[in-house]
Each structure stands twice: as C-alpha cells, then as structure tokens.
Amino acid sequence: MAAVTADARGVMTNRAPEPSGRSLAPGGGGWKGHIVRQLKHRDRSQQAMFQDLIRFYSQLLEKTSLAKGILSRSDRRPCADSSSVSTLQHRISQMKKTKGELAYQVLELQQQIKIKECVLEEQHARLLKEERRLEGAFGSRQELQELVKQVQEENGSLKVKYDALLEQQKGAESRLREEKVREGHLLDDMIHLKEQAAARMNHRNERKSRAREAKLQKELQTAARSKVNIDSSSSSASAKTENQDETSEQTQTRLFRSASATSPRIFSSIKGLFDRKRRGHSVCSLQEDHACPVRICLSARVPARALQVLEAHDQDINAVRFSSSSDLLATGGTDCVIKLWEVRAGTLTHRGSLHGSTEGITCIEFDHTGSRILAASYNKSALLWRLDDSVPKVTLTGHSNKVTASRFISSSSVATGSADRTLRLWDLQRAACVHLVDVVSYVSDLVCSENSIISGHFDRKIRVWDTRVMSCVQELPAQGKVTSLDLSSDHRQLLSCCRDDCLQLVDLRRWSSDRMCYRADGFKCGSDSTKAVISPDGDYLAAGSADGAVYVWNVSTGNLETRLPDKHSSSISAVSWSLSGEYVVSVDKSRRAVLWSDM
C-alpha cells in the first residue's frame, strides 16, 4: 500500500512501499503481472482518496508560514492595530485547531495503512501457500493422468485376453456339446453292444442247454435199451407179467428197463441242468438267492461305552451299514471307497476295500444274503459289488444329479432316489431302468417294503409309492426337511430324521394315528444327510448329533435313554445298529468310526 510522507519542503507526497520478498517485475506475465496490476490500482485509488487531505495540509503549511511572517512583521511594527492582532490571533488559533484535527486524521490513516499492509502480507503468504499447493496438485494430476493411461492400457490388454478366453470358452462349449452328443452315441452303441452280447450269451447258453438236454436224452435212451439181470423170484414174476402185457408185435422178449431213468442221480442231473440254465451269467445267481443265517434279536443292548475308535477313511465318512449276519460292516465316504470291516469280539478288523466309484459315497446297503453291496454315489449313479470282487458288477447310470439313496427291492431289482427329483426302479439282470417317476422335491432318502417304496423329501413330506403302478398313494407331513428314513425289522414302524432336530416315528399300520416325536436337549441334526436308525427289536432309536454325541431314545417312554459323548470331534453323519442288537457304530465328518456296546 502507498505511504504518505513529507519532503524537505513540508509537502506530503505518495510513495509506493518497497515490495517485501522477491521483486515483482511490472508487466510480467501470469500471476506476477496480475499482482503488479492490483498494486498499481490500489496506489491510484488511495492517492485519489488523500488528494484533498494533502491539499488542505499544504494550504495549512502555507498559512502557518504566512502567520509566522505576519507575527515577525508585527514584532517589528509594535504600533499596529490591536484589532488586527486579535483577529490574526483568532485565525491562528483556528488554524492550529484545524492542524491538530488534520494531524489526528493523518495518524488514523497511517494506522489503517499499516493494518492493510499486514493484511496484504498475510494474503501474499496465503497466495504463496496456495501456489505451492497448486504446484503439488498439478504434479498429482499428472501422476493420476499417467496412472489412468496405464490402467487404460492394462484394461485394453485384459479386454484382449478376455475376448480370447471368451472365444476359447465358446470353442470349449461347442466341443463339450459335441462330446456330449458323442457320449450319447457311444452310450447307445454300448447299450446296443451289450444287448447283442447278452443275446449271443443267451444263444450260447440255449445251445449249451439244448446240447445238455440232447446228451441227457441220449443217456436216457441208452439206459432204456440196456438190460438188467434180476435174480430174485419176484423180479422174474414181474418181468413175466410185463411181457404178457406187451403187444403181439414184439418179437423179442425183454426184461426190465434200466432203473437209471428214475434214479436220484438222473433227477439231480436234471435239476442241476435247469439250475445252471436259470443262473447263466446273471448277477443274481441261485447261490445269492439262498439266505444266509441271520441272528434273531430278541432284545437290543443299549450302548454304554466305546469299544474301539479308529480313523476309518482318508476323508469324511457319509454312510455305514451292518450286514444281515452282523459280523460284517461297510463304511463309505468322500474318498470314493467302500471299506469292509469284520466285527469280532468287540473289535473292527479291516477286511478289504471296494473301488470303482469316481466320486463320494452317499448311501450303502447289503442285500438280504449279505453277499452283495449296493451304494449310491455323487457321480449320478448307483453301483453294485459282490463281496468277492472289488470291481463293481453293475453300474446304474441315468440320473442327472447325485444319487442320495439306493435300496434293494428284491434280489433282482433296486430303487434309487436322487437330487434331480426323480425315483428310478432298476432291473439288475438287464442293468436297465424300468420305471422313472418325477417327484416335486429333492429326494433325501428312501426305504423299500413289499410292493411299496417310501421316500423322504426336502419339502417336508414323506411319500408312499406303489411299485406295481408306480404312483403315490399316501403323503405324510414331516416336522422339517427329511434327512433320513429307516424301517423297523418287522416293517411296521417308520423312523424319519428331520432338520428341525426331531425324530418322528410312525406306525405304518395306522397312518392316521398320532405320530411320536423324539427330542432332547443338546441334540441337533448336523446336515441334510444325517442318518438315524431303529434298534432291531424296535425298542430304541439312535441318532448322531452335531455336537459329536450319540443320542439313544426309548420308544415306549419317549425319554432319552443315554447320551454317548467325547469320542467324535465333529458332526456325526450316520449310525448303524447290528441286527444282533449287540453293537452300534457311528461315523463322522472327521474320518472317525466308533464301535459302541454295553460290554
């Protein structure tokens, strides 16, 4: 800001202050030139404001000098009029008063100028600070622009890669469709070849049977033509009576025909011939139809302690089942293997493994003879093994999602349920599906009895199907999503396990009667495939909980009979009770199997 100063003559003039900091070149470009122009404008405006004050002050100085001259002259002329002197003094006092006021105004204006100079300095400092911030913002903007350019380049390269991958995906999808079509053709060809092989086998078996029949007929004719000498008198009398009954056309007298045609040896040969003809090369042989001895359980034992704890599989265990003889146990899990265990004297001994599934096992069942095992798998199929062969004898394919349950209906037919909401009936002799039923909900488990299949579903329904017409004849409500079903040994009671942590027992003879529900503090159904069982005598229920404990209920009282904790470290997936009533086995998601008993 301009400062007001007085020169040697006593005249006040305007002078621009020296700029602080770095010098500003007048007329400079950019912000510097702008500042110079603002300072010049301020000087002009302030100079205009103080022009009158400077003029009055100059006049006051002139009048003061004039008054001094008059006073000096009056001193030299003592004879002047007293009136003029008084007038002059009055003027002088007025001038002094005016001078004082002007001086005060000058001081006030100087103070205001100092304040404005301070404000200007502050604004100049702020301006420098903003300039530095602006320079930093310019640098950040350039960095961001470079980063944006780099990201755009990376996006461009990623877009190119994405387009290439999209083309590869389209090609892979087209190849997948072609492979699926080829797979369908190959499957049809394989089925056709199997049918041809079966036809050839049947033709060979028929030829062999005809050859055996012809040979047997020839043997019978040879035996009929042979003569037998009978020494007893009764035999001679019988021979004479027979000869008398013959027609007159017979010229040669014969004795008895050989008794070999009706001998037990011939009958046993015929029986063996037709037995072999019936068996052929089917997976359902006559030996398999002969039932193995089954222990009768008069009273099941409530398990009290763990006899053995072992790491049965390499991964989670999903299913466990005792054979009908109670001396063999099968376990299956996500490691795609079924392991067989011999149960002797309260211990489990590994007997062998059954391979062939490409994905995890979901369900296991022995047939009534204990010589075959049926298993459901995550690979959309069910597999059938014979215990003397580790390779599957039959593979039942056709489901579009994982198979959750597979059960024997008879020695030659099975039923399967799947997450694809279908039930299928299979003929094991042909390895073909004979019935397909669409269901409205996910099939979690099923059990089979005479002429009926009972299935559990995620829509909280239990459905009963008539296998003769394959139609639903009954629907039962459940407490929640059904995770498993089990039939009592006399096929009179049905047990269901639900996701609402409840076991439900239904008397199949009285569908409309009240259903019994079993709950317990601490019991929690751990998964959508948790399996619960009925004891072989029908007096107890057993199920595994998410807390790793086995819960056992008394059917008649509805109370919790016992709780078996501390042996499982994770949720129990399945429980099986031996048909002899002696043992209970529980398996969990941490690869552990525990053998329980009251011994």
The upper half-sphere exposure of residue 511, i.e. CA atoms within 13 Å in the direction of its Cβ, equals 10
User: Given this model, what pLDDT does residue 249 score?
Assistant: 38
What residues have CB less than 8 Å from 158, skipping those under 6 apart? none
Q: Mean of the pLDDT values across residues 445-462?
A: 91
What tens digit of pLDDT does each residue of 487-535 get? 998 888 899 999 999 999 998 887 666 688 999 999 999 899 999 999 9
DSSP per residue, 148-190: HHHHHHHHHHHHHHHHHHHHHHHHHHHHHHHHHHHHHHHHHHH
Q: Which span out of 241-250, 278-287, 555-564 was modeled with the highest average pLDDT?
A: 555-564
Distance CA 502, CA 518 (A): 6
Q: Which CATH number fits domain 305-597: 2.130.10.10, 3.40.50.300, 2.40.10.10, 3.40.640.10?
A: 2.130.10.10
Question: What pTM, to 2 d.p., does this model score?
Answer: 0.54
Q: At what angle do helices 51-76 and 82-225 cross, to 10 degrees?
A: 160
What tens digit of pLDDT does each residue of 183-218 get? 888 888 888 888 888 888 878 878 888 888 888 888
Distance of CA 79 to the CA centre of its chain: 129
Distance CA 425, CA 215 (A): 41
411 pLDDT higher than 50: yes
Are 503 and 496 contacting, i.e. CB atoms less than 8 angstroms apart? yes
Q: Starting from the edge strand earliest in sequence, which strands make up the sheet with 572-577, in order?
A: 305-311, 592-597, 584-588, 572-577
DSSP per residue, 432-496: EEEEEEE-SS-EEEEEEETTEEEEEETTSEEEEEETTTTEEEEEEE-SS-EEEEEE-TTS-EEEE
Which is more confidently placed, 582 or 95?
582
What residues have CB less than 8 Å from 206, skipping those under 6 apart? none
Indicate the domain borders of the chain.
Answer: 3-156, 305-597
What residues have CB less than 8 Å from 534, skipping those under 6 apart? 486, 487, 488, 489, 493, 495, 505, 540, 541, 555, 577
What tens digit of pLDDT does each residue of 566-577 get? 889 899 999 999
